[in-house]
Each structure stands twice: as structure tokens, then as C-alpha cells.
Chains A and B, each alone.
Chain A
């Protein structure tokens, strides 16, 4: 096989992940192209790139989701490769195909693999075939079929989740606790999915009530070989959005960790996976039974915690694999050191039910600390617009053990100075300081169950920042 020796790469994304990818490109001597919407013309990722091209108005569907505009930008600038980052077009198989058809290198797995893993039912079937345990669930149902959906639900038992086949990232999913609520949830999920994804097909899945969300970072070489880079615990979530992530998963028995990582690698091998991917599991907090949830065929928001404990540069590995320059990495070459924690700093107001808080970042200052990494798409003085996600920055720390990492995360957040918008900083501090979190007793219900207490325990009045 011959590989393209590209030297110019376009990032089809914005914000912190665009900057993160540019960083690896600089290390590799690759020149960078940014794309931007009208709302992002003055943003940090535009300034950081060697070149930048406008791709449309502020709403994502008219710019960052416009396949033709992105490919045109690549062709006009002479970019030879496209990295999609996460979100937007990152898991859009048609986009990957169009990139390849345009003669550009695609930094990601083969389009048919993206399509297969993006179809939850097909992904589940592949997992079963690869010997990866899955949650009991139903077949898929098109809009209608109320009686059959009801029968399937009764067979699986409650609580269960109604999930859109085309959904993801917490969108197109709802929890149903009792049989009489099923019909309404199914209809709501179908209409939401039809609107958001153009496909109202749903399926049902048993909901593990006390669960942890643990995912395995895999890296495939596209030829049936694959390795893992350990796991991440992402149990601290609010409305299915991750808030705090860490590696390794606290208190996970060694044999379970090995079984999960092996299962993830088996799946990656079975599909000839190429590049960085994440196999997500839900894990029963008591029995440590684990079930395959989905595979994300892209770089993940929380990839830095893995980089902190392994020393790997996952983005550089993706790029070098696409260029045919990645030296073989064997499983035993991957070493794990210490503990890393990532906190997602959001522009939202915990005191008012986490209402989004776009606005001007009048101050944005982080402390100079060892073992601290800040991945942010913003600078002091930038505007946070309402058009995209509310993440201001990822505050990532490492330590020799979990306790040290926790202490450093608290120190880093305490010394962060953000003004102009409301943020969840104090809420994050509350979480990190909570006795259950400190003891590693985490589960996906942690924030929901402790919400009042966590908000009340916020160390500083949230209203004081403006």
C-alpha cells in the first residue's frame, strides 16, 4: 500500500479541538488550514492556523456541517488531508467518502466502519459477533408499531431507554421508568429524531440503574491489528453530557479492566479499525458486569486524560497512520503512569439550572502550574456565542495517584479566573470535593442524585463574577 505524503491539513472543526490538532501538525511539520463560520471570524483557531477559509453563516448546519463548503475550502487552499475533530462531521460517513472521492486523505477510520458503528444496531451486532457483552435490548422500530414496542419493552423490563438509531451524544434518548410512560417517550423520541437526524427509527435498551460509564481508548492499524491505551471513567455526567473524566477508572478491579480492554480491542480488530476510537461501556457499580454501549469512531473530547497517563499523542498517531509513517506500537509498548483528571469548564449557570451563559470572556486566566494542561478555544476578550457548545476549556491535570490529581484539579480550578460569563467552575469544585467522588464512589447518577447538595456547596457565590 502506498500512502499519501501530505504536508497540508485542513481541520473541519472549530475551537479547542482545532487548536489541539494544529498543535500536533506543527510538531509534525504539517501546514494547517482552518475553516470558520461568520461567528468565528476572529476566533483563536483562525488565528492559529497557517491559512483560514470562511465556510458560511453562524448556524452550524450552514457552515461546519456543510460538506461541500468544507471540501471546497480544502481544494481552494491546496490542503491534502482533512481531520474532522469531534462532533460536527466527524462521524458522518458520507462526508468521509466525499473527502476521499475529492482525492484528499481522511484522518479517521474507513467510511463503512463509521457507518457501521454509527448505526447502533449494526454496532451492537458487530459487538456480539466479536464476543463483547451487550445490554439486553430490542430490535429497531420505525414510527408507529406501538403495540410491538410495548411488548418489547415489557420483555426487557423497566427502567429502559428509548434511543434513536441515528442519535448520539445524549441527543435522541429518553429514560422510561414505568410502562405507562412508554408511549409518550417513544413518540417524543421519534419526533425529535425525525427532526434532528431525519430518521425517527428507535430501539429500546435496558437501563442499568446504578452504572458507571467507562470507555476504552483503542487504536487500530487498519489491518486487523489494534491496541488499547487504557480506560477512562466518565461517570460524572449531567443530562448525558460528560463533566469530569479520569484515567484510570477508580476502584475498577484489575481483572475487569483487563477484560474490558481486551473486549474493546477484539471489536477494533474485528472491524479492521483504523486510527483512534473509543469503545464505551456501562458498568454495573456493584457487580462490575460491563455492557457495550457504542463505539465512537473519532478522537474524543476527553482524550487528553489518556495522553497524560500514557504520554502518547493520539492526534499525531492518527495523522502519522494516515501518512504511513506510524511505527508499529505493540500493546506492551504502552505504559501507564499515575492518574489524570479532566474537568470541562462550561459557560453555564449552575445556580439557574445550568442555563447557557454566552457572552464576552472579560477575563480568562489559568494558573501556571506543573502537571496542568489547558485545552481551550478561547482567549481573554473573546466572545462566546450561543451558536455552538458551551465548553470554554478543558482543565486537565495529572498526579502520581488519584488523590494528588484531585488536589491539583482543585488547585487549578481555584486559581482560574474567568469573568464575563457564568461558569460551572464552582460546581466542578463541589464535585471534586464531594466525599463520594474523593472515595471513587462514582456513578452516572452522581450529579443528579447530589445536585442540590453540590450546588449548595459551591465555594463561591456564582453571581459574583460579573
Chain B
């Protein structure tokens, strides 16, 4: 299954982890909050999927572009995948 990398938009410090691995997410759902220059910047799910792993801990420094979490595509509704439904 295709892995989706979730990257931080901003250099900062992980302020809060909002969801746990195993959570099913919709596009734009917030995963972590990064604190940078007195602002809280939410890092969001780039697409629908399952949160597989969070790669950072609260208090960790992250740089812009760092992968902070891994998601997995949800395949049930994805006709282009290997397990696509047979044609009728």
C-alpha cells in the first residue's frame, strides 16, 4: 500500500501531537501543532488515509520539509489500486 509522507510546512518545535497512530484521517485533518515564532502552525493530512506512525515527539525540533508522520492510503474506494474491484 502506498505510504504518504506528512511534512512540516515550517521550522519549529513540536508543540502538541493531536492524534494517535491508527487513526483514520480525512484530508486537512490536523495531526500535530508546530510552534514557531510564537505561532501555532497545524500540520495537516495531505489526503485521506490512515495514520501509521508519528515520527516526532512533543518538544522535538523540526525543520521545514521534515517528514513528521507516515500515513497509508485507504484503498477500499480506490479503483486504480491493485485490489481494484473486478469490472462488472
Known: A386-B36, A389-B37. A356 touches B13 (CB 8 A): no
Contact of A388 with B12 in the complex, beta carbons under 8 Å: no
Quote the shortest CB–CB distance from B78 to chain A (angstroms): 30
Q: Does A347 contact B (CB under 8 A)?
A: yes
The answer for the CA separation of A462 and B26 in the assembled complex, in Å, is 31
Contact of A388 with B37 in the complex, beta carbons under 8 Å: yes
A388: chain B residues within 8 A (beta carbon): 37-38
Contact of B38 with A389 in the complex, beta carbons under 8 Å: yes
Pick the contact of B37: A59, A352, A390 (CB < 8 A).
A390
Q: Does B72 contact A (CB under 8 A)?
A: no
The answer for the CA separation of A355 and B10 in the assembled complex, in Å, is 7
B38: chain A residues within 8 A (beta carbon): 388-390
The answer for the CA separation of A395 and B38 in the assembled complex, in Å, is 21
Chain A's closest residue to B9 (CB) is A355
B61: chain A residues within 8 A (beta carbon): 386
Interface size class of B (residues with CB under 8 A): 10 to 19
Contact of B9 with A386 in the complex, beta carbons under 8 Å: no
Interface of B: prevailing SS: strand
A386: chain B residues within 8 A (beta carbon): 10-13, 35-37, 61
Chain A's closest residue to B12 (CB) is A386
A59: chain B residues within 8 A (beta carbon): 13
* Per-position binary interface string of chain B over residues 28-44, scored 1 when its CB falls under 8 Å from any chain A CB and 0 otherwise: 00000001111101000
Quote the shortest CB–CB distance from B33 to chain A (angstroms): 12
A240: chain B residues within 8 A (beta carbon): none
Contact of A358 with B41 in the complex, beta carbons under 8 Å: no
Chain B's closest residue to A421 (CB) is B11
Contact of B37 with A359 in the complex, beta carbons under 8 Å: no
The answer for the CA separation of A358 and B11 in the assembled complex, in Å, is 6
Q: Does A288 contact B (CB under 8 A)?
A: no
Quote the shortest CB–CB distance from B84 to chain A (angstroms): 36
| 8 further A-B pairs in the complex, CB-CB below 8 A; given A347-B37, A357-B10, A387-B37 | A355-B41, A356-B37, A356-B39, A386-B12, A386-B13, A386-B37, A389-B38, A390-B38
Contact of B13 with A387 in the complex, beta carbons under 8 Å: yes
Quote the shortest CB–CB distance from B57 to chain A (angstroms): 15
Chain B's closest residue to A192 (CB) is B40
The answer for the CA separation of A198 and B60 in the assembled complex, in Å, is 24
B9: chain A residues within 8 A (beta carbon): 352, 355
Quote the shortest CB–CB distance from A206 to chain B (angstroms): 28
* Per-position binary interface string of chain B over residues 1-38, scored 1 when its CB falls under 8 Å from any chain A CB and 0 otherwise: 00000000111110000000000000000000001111
Quote the shortest CB–CB distance from B61 to chain A (angstroms): 8
A347: chain B residues within 8 A (beta carbon): 37
A390: chain B residues within 8 A (beta carbon): 37-39
Q: List 7 A-B contacts (CB under 8 A).
A: A356-B36, A356-B41, A358-B11, A358-B37, A388-B38, A389-B38, A390-B37
A389: chain B residues within 8 A (beta carbon): 37-38
Quote the shortest CB–CB distance from A333 to chain B (angstroms): 38
Chain A's closest residue to B38 (CB) is A389
